[in-house]
């Protein structure tokens, strides 16, 4: 701002004009970010850059005690702001000073600092709390799953409110230091790399660090008794896998799948580019869940995911999310296709690599599985609605859209896009619209009509158009029409059943978990 000397009369005349700019009234931050599907998730008025979580957990009683320190920057003049959290809070400090707090809504912790906060100010927020996560019900369920020897949190689209206070929306990513104290003989698994492990007076503390931006729902914690295996990729990336010591008959299948993480990661780097984080791996706790989740650097796999034997395809899916969904996160939950469509397509590419069916064959077979009157086609992958966010159409029809793109622009441009998108958008957020514009610019072709057909219509794309896109089978001329589809049955690709088996594996539910609690 520039200043100049004024005559006394001019200064007096301008005094009132000067006051509003320097004395704007602080206002409360919004209680939600206004997401299309989950408007109450997240909060306005600040951005978190780092979470420091210091926790103590007793498996026998499910008591979690915590001190969370958030480093954030205000984005407006704040009189009050919210965190998403549900456990009982005993104290809150903002900038070292005690702040008053109250609860509202389903999971809102309303914090009023001792003095208002100016826009652009870096602040620290300390929250002390204790409670039993499994007792906390939001919308009638708990996302915290107790196990015979501990507890686990891995949930989408929300889960952090059960164990730490935060800004629970993918648009506010942060780095994490997670320190967890558990009884000796018990382990704590989280994101990133293990910085240290120490034991004192019957308790062992594990200190984990995730040093790249990470969404709250991708932050995980598993406490129990695990067999931990370690490896490194060809580029030196640490691989940390953990298996509950009580997986029963699924133990072998789980290990046969997750222990291929190194191989899958190395292959995915050839498809999507350099891995974006500081470690990779996976864990399988003794949770009676049939879903998997791409928790950053360390995907969660429910043990029931291996009821039918090993499945490397699900590992491919969750690891592909590290690029598509984790590093490049969605802007709004309606943009779920930028996560799931590409993770499913990565399974098709793995099938192609393994000689078990090309992506083209899988797209054509998937197209043929659903007649025109199948409700499958009424779900629009580009905006499926909260109740259909994890519907099979988001995956299979979403992957058909990607195959149609590949056929339209050719392999050279297509595979360049697969690498450049997660590179140029690394650690950021993006929408379906953003990807369409990116693909058009990279290929030099107009693609809006193609994506409208495959992502935003509620009917089955007609056979001629689908054939032109390379998604429907080849057609054969008939007396009635030159574009009548062949009635001969299409041979099922060898990989189809294993990929199909992952449909229920990725049915997270709209904020719920298939753990018998929702």
| pLDDT at residue 200 tops 90 | yes
**362-417: pLDDT as tens digits:** 999 999 999 999 999 999 999 999 999 999 999 999 999 999 999 999 999 999 99
For the CA atoms of 278, 284, 286, 292, the dihedral, rounded to the nearest 10 degrees, stands at 100
Stated as kind and residue range, the H or E segment containing 74 is strand 63-74
**371-382: pLDDT as tens digits:** 999 999 999 999
**Helix/strand/coil (H/E/C) assignment for every residue in 363-376:** HHHHHHCCCCCCHH
For residues 8 and 157, give the distance between their C-alpha atoms in angstroms, rounded to a whole number.
60
**pTM greater than 0.85 (yes/no):** yes
Residue-range domains of the chain with CATH: 28-224 (2.60.40.1730), 225-320 (1.10.390.10), 330-474+491-506 (1.10.390.10)
Q: How confident is the model at residue 472 (pLDDT cuts 50, 70, 90)?
A: confident
| Residue 504: predicted pLDDT | 72
> Exposed, middle or buried: residue 211 (CB in 10 Å: 0-12, 13-18, 19+)?
middle
| Residue 469: predicted pLDDT | 84
Q: How confident is the model at residue 23 (pLDDT cuts 50, 70, 90)?
A: low
Q: Which residues contact 326 (CB under 8 A, 6 or more apart)?
A: 214, 215, 218, 276, 277, 294, 296
| Residue 274: predicted pLDDT | 98
| pLDDT at residue 208 tops 50 | yes
| pLDDT at residue 171 tops 80 | yes
What mean pLDDT is predicted for residues 248-254?
97
| pLDDT at residue 102 tops 70 | yes
| pLDDT at residue 431 tops 50 | yes
| pLDDT at residue 427 tops 90 | yes
Higher pLDDT, 268 or 4: 268
**314-355: pLDDT as tens digits:** 999 999 999 999 999 999 999 999 999 999 999 999 999 999
Q: Number of H helices and number of E strands within the chain?
A: 12, 23
| pLDDT at residue 497 tops 50 | yes
**Helix/strand/coil (H/E/C) assignment for every residue in 98-166:** ECEEEEECCCEEEEECCCCECCCCEEEEEEEEEECHHHCCECCECCEEEECCEEEECCCCCCHHHCCCE
**257-295: pLDDT as tens digits:** 999 999 999 999 999 999 999 999 999 999 989 899 999
In percent, the amount of the chain with pLDDT more than 70 equals: 90
> Would you list the DSSP string of 219-258?
--EEEE-EEEEEEE-TT--EEEEEEETT-GGGHHHHHHHH
| Residue 86: predicted pLDDT | 98
For the CA atoms of 316, 318, 320, 326, the dihedral, rounded to the nearest 10 degrees, stands at -170
| pLDDT at residue 210 tops 80 | yes
| pLDDT at residue 24 tops 50 | yes
In percent, the amount of the chain with pLDDT more than 90 equals: 86
| Residue 8: predicted pLDDT | 38
| Angle, alpha carbons 321-87-205 (nearest 5°) | 70
For residues 281 and 231, give the distance between their C-alpha atoms in angstroms, rounded to a whole number.
9
Round the average pLDDT of the chain to a whole number and report it: 91
What mean pLDDT is predicted for residues 506-511?
50
| Residue 510: predicted pLDDT | 39
Q: Say if residues 18 and 10 touch (Cβ distance below 8 Å).
A: no
Answer positive or negative: Cα dihedral of 477, 479, 485, 490.
negative
Q: Which residues contact 67 (CB under 8 A, 6 or more apart)?
A: 53, 54, 126, 127, 128, 129
């Amino acid at each position: 701002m520039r200043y100049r000397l004024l005559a006394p009369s001019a200064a007096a005349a301008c005094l009132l004009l000067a006051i509003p700019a320097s004395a704007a009234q602080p206002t409360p931050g919004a209680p939600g970010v206004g997401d299309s599907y989950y408007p109450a998730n997240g909060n306005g008025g600040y951005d978190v850059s780092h979470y420091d979580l210091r926790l103590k957990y007793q498996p026998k009683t499910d008591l979690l005690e915590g001190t969370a320190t958030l480093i954030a920057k205000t984005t407006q003049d704040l009189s009050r702001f919210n965190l998403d959290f549900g456990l009982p809070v005993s104290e809150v400090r903002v900038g070292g000073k005690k702040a008053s707090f109250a609860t509202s809504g389903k999971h809102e912790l309303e914090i009023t600092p001792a003095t208002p906060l100016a826009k652009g100010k870096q602040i620290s927020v300390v929250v002390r709390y204790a409670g039993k996560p499994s007792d906390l019900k939001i919308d009638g369920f708990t996302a915290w799953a107790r196990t015979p020897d501990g507890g686990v949190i891995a949930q989408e689209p929300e889960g952090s409110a059960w164990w730490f206070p935060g800004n629970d929306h993918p648009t506010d990513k942060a780095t994490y230091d997670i320190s967890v104290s558990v009884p000796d003989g018990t382990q704590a698994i989280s994101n990133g790399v293990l910085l240290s492990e120490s034991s004192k007076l019957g308790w062992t503390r594990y200190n984990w660090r995730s040093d790249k931006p990470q969404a709250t729902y991708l932050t995980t914690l598993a406490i129990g008794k695990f067999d931990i295996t370690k490896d490194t990729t060809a580029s030196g990336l640490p691989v940390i896998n953990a298996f509950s010591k009580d997986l029963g008959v699924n133990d072998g299948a789980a290990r046969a799948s997750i222990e291929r993480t190194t191989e899958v990661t190395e292959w995915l780097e050839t498809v999507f580019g350099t891995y974006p984080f500081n470690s990779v791996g996976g864990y399988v706790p003794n949770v009676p869940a049939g879903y998997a989740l791409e928790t950053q650097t360390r995907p969660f796999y429910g043990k029931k995911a291996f009821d039918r034997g090993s499945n490397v395809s699900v590992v491919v899916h969750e690891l592909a999310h590290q690029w598509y969904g984790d590093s490049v996160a969605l802007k709004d939950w309606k943009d779920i296709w930028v996560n799931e469509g590409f993770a499913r397509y990565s399974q098709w590419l793995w099938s192609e690599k393994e000689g078990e069916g090309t992506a083209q064959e899988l797209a054509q077979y998937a197209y043929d599985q659903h007649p025109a009157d199948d409700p499958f086609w009424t779900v629009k992958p580009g905006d499926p609605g909260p109740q259909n966010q994890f519907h099979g159409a988001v995956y299979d029809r979403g992957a058909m859209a990607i195959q149609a793109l590949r056929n339209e622009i050719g392999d050279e441009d297509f595979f360049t896009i697969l690498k450049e998108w997660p590179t140029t958008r690394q650690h950021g957020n993006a929408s379906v619209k953003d990807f369409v514009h990116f693909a058009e610019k990279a290929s030099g072709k107009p693609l809006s009509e193609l994506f409208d057909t495959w992502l935003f219509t509620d009917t089955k794309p007609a056979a001629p158009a689908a054939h032109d896109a390379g998604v429907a089978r080849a057609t054969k001329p008939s007396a009635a029409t030159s574009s009548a589809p062949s009635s001969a049955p299409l041979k099922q690709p060898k990989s189809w059943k294993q990929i199909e088996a992952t449909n229920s594996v990725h049915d997270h539910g709209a904020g719920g978990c298939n753990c018998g609690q929702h």
